[in-house]
Structure 1
């Protein structure tokens, strides 16, 4: 998140500022110019991941506005409770997973869907909560089973609603 906070992440708009002659169109949604804020908050793909996270966790609203404000808001007063830790982890992990998916599309010509990116993010969030002693391994495994069931189309969950 340091690179994001200092606007150093190499999105297409930042590459253009460095003198690269590139067309600027988001690799995720193909409907807007790629910038840090667009990629991590405004892009339809990122919005769907955030909405899916909100549905699964039922605790947090997705970030809106400026990514730098979201970082400050979600990181400044890290609460000691579980909800605060989940929010703190979610901001970092979901941003990281969207960035990795963007790079996979750019450099490997591979494309995952929203549900797959969300599953990866949720696994990392649970691992982080276990590592910091916020939940037990058993609680984490139970939560992940519930998450997998909720994301499985055979259970009627529709991320794209």
Structure 2
């Protein structure tokens, strides 16, 4: 399902074709032409978000430039051992980062609102927590556990 949603993402090329004349450059880094691969994997702004979310992995952090497409990246996302809750959190991480980046990008284009990578990282954690709201496993955890225990959680994944 997520891959189908990604296929519907309106890149600048699609928006330009629909009459919204926008510069062909990524509005987050303003250094490269926007594409799905650039926006979600290769943009230096997005790399900062990924770095802050995955920094506890140290040398085991995936090199996003090894992936040409978002789909190949998602297919290569590692499986984890750990509690059911940790597994669910880890499975959601790439989608939540992508969603947060998408929201940040759209806010720049449509509202003129810019955020820095740290703000997007915090929004990522908030989205992650909210996406887990209906999960039975979340009942024993608190948002502060996710924020304060993030490093231990991610290091346990490697």
Q: State the TM-score bracket (shorter-chain normalisation).
A: 0.7 to 0.9
Q: Secondary structure at the match of 1:14?
A: helix
How many equivalent pairs are there? 144
Cα distance between partner residues in 1 of 2:106 and 2:47: 18
1:40-119 matches, within 5 Å, as 40-55=40-55, 61-62=61-62, 64=64, 65=67, 66-74=69-77, 81-119=84-122
The unaligned stretches of length 5 or more in structure 1 are 148-161
Corresponding position: 1:123 with 2:129 = no
Cα distance between partner residues in 2 of 1:143 and 1:71: 22
Q: Which has the higher contact order (CA 8 A, sep 6+)?
A: 2
Cα deviation for residue 139 of structure 1 reads: 4.3
Name the structure 2 match of 1:23: 23
Give the root-mean-square deviation of aligned CA atoms: 3.1
Q: Secondary structure at the match of 2:77?
A: helix
Deviates more, 1:104-113 or 1:130-139: 130-139
Cα deviation for residue 88 of structure 1 reads: 1.7
TM-score w.r.t. the length of structure 2 is: 0.73
Structure 1 56/89 Cα, relative in aligned 2: closer, same or farther at 3 Å? same
Q: Secondary structure at the match of 2:127?
A: helix
Structure 1 39/21 Cα, relative in aligned 2: closer, same or farther at 3 Å? same
